[in-house]
Amino acid sequence: MTTTERPAALAAPPHERGSPGYRRLGAALWLSGMATFVLVYSVQGLLPALSAEFGVSSSRASLVLSATTGALALAVLPLSAVTEAWGRARVMTWALAVSAVLALLAPLAPTFETLVAVRALQGVALAALPALSMAHLTHEVSGRHLGGAVGLLIAGNTLGGLSGRLVAAWVAEFGGWRAGLAAVGALSVLATVAFRLLLPPATAPTPSRTRLRDLGGPLRRHLTDPGLLCLFGMAFLLMGAFVTVYNYLGFRLLAAPFSLPGTLVGLVFLGYLAGSWASTRAGRLGDRFGRRPVLWSATLLALAGVWVTVPDVLGSVLAGLVMITVGFFGAHSVASSWVGRRSRLLPGAVPAQASSLYLVGYYAGSSVGGAAGGIAFDHGGWSALAGYVSVLLLAALALALVLRRVGAPAGQG
């Protein structure tokens, strides 16, 4: 047992907002979210360079990202369920460490196919981390502060997504894509060390060991709850829409009529700063005013932002991108914390498994939705991509409205 794990007999009260344990936990899991998004999404800003280097289309180049998110989506449920009994702190640390090592190996890939394979292995290595992070918060933080804590975790995601893309794009502009990926590997090593040093001792007991064959009952319970199904579906649709925009915007801005240099194109990822603010703010607004209105408003904001990006006016494109980013991270923050709350109230449910299923939808949306968006972009340009993304967001909005009619477990929602 590590110093951050606690047996059942020594279980302590969960952390309250403002306490030293809450601050350390928030900082550590903020770093884990940052490292995850650094590792997964840093290649997004390199897709045009990879397309040119290996002579592949924009949609094929996106496989470097889709391989990671697809492998993560496939592995997240079994790995997070089986490894939780090994100790959440231990598993999260190892997931970050192995992924960081693979990140240092990725720049050495001699072919496009090898790079895709290494990136897929990263997805497997990271698979347990996001679900265990959410489950750890669910067990370690007082329920009345959970929305804000999850928002902080997702704020780390947004900064990781921003810093990974910026570091990779800027370094690649001067040293090539291999140097860009090497810089990301070094950044992820630093985040791993800081995470391990900051993570406080657990207040909740380490769960008992789970066998794969024991997952069937809780899995059926989660997949037959209409509220959770809506939230899982929203994760797929929202992430598919969001990743599609960021995957292919660089291709658009590098081409006429914008013809921007690569260093300036990399700056569009500064829009993630708005997402960092939105995730924390939306979580707290959901705690205060109710999750439904915040979820609807955020999804509508993202939908409006898509069409603001359509005119070939740089200011309009950037304004729309900020709207999409704020809307996506606001909706994602509310939906992911809602999964944790609902699963804790659902008889026979397992919060870690519910979080894993949400992330299956989330990363499957990134993989499948993002790749399909590339087909739309290759064949119809940005207008076709905007139409495709709008369909995804309208479907997500429909699921958000269905939640209004879904009864809550144990009389809560």
Segments of the chain scoring below 70 in pLDDT: 1-18, 81, 83-85, 131, 142-149, 152, 201-216, 283, 286-287, 407-413
> pLDDT per residue over 337-377, tens digit each?
888 778 877 777 777 778 889 989 998 999 999 999 999 99
Domains of the chain by residue range: 17-199+215-406
Give the tokens for residue 305. 């932002």
Top-level class of domain 17-199+215-406: mainly alpha
Specify whether the CB–CB gap between 342 and 408 falls below 8 A.
yes
Helices (H) and strands (E) in the chain, counts: 17, 0
Identify the pLDDT of residue 8. Answer: 42
**Ramachandran angles phi, psi of 209, nearest 5°:** -65, 140
Identify the pLDDT of residue 374. Answer: 93
Q: Determine the Cα–Cα distance for residues 84 and 199; give it in Å rounded to an integer.
A: 16
Which residue type sits at 371?
A: A
Q: Helix, strand, or coil here: 141?
A: strand
